């Protein structure tokens, strides 16, 4: 009976380690995706800022709103790091 308990204990330890490895990999992937998302938001924000500088006066309010929303999205995404 003692051998079975030791074997089961070892198997459970291996299952727990495997779960920790999978969770660590998932976190790494999520972190990489988040960095890619932040880079895309930054690029979009930069383009919108450049377009804003050359936009006609009647479009400034709409473009400013888009820039504000992108800024808020970037703030949220970076807070997840």
pLDDT for 3-43, tens place per residue?
A: 777 767 777 778 778 888 899 999 999 999 999 999 999 99
Return the axis-axis angle of helices 60-79 and 2-53, rounded to nearest 10°: 160
pTM, entire model: 0.76
Using only C-alpha atoms, what is the Rg of the chain?
A: 24
Query: What are the extents of the domains in the chain?
Result: 2-79
What does DSSP assign to residue 81? -
**Amino acid 74: pLDDT:** 97
Of residues 46, 41, 44, 43, the one with CA closest to residue 73: 41
**Amino acid 13: pLDDT:** 73
pLDDT for 52-81, tens place per residue?
A: 999 999 999 999 999 999 999 999 999 999
Residue 2: pLDDT over 80: no
């Amino acid at each position: 009976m003692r051998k079975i308990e030791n074997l089961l204990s070892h198997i459970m330890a291996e299952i727990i380690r495997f779960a920790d490895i999978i969770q660590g990999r998932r976190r790494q992937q999520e972190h990489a995706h988040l960095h890619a998302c932040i880079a895309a938001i930054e690029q979009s924000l930069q383009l919108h800022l450049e377009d804003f500088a050359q936009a006609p006066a009647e479009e400034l309010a709409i473009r400013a709103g888009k820039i504000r929303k992108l800024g808020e999205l970037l703030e949220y995404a970076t807070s997840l790091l």
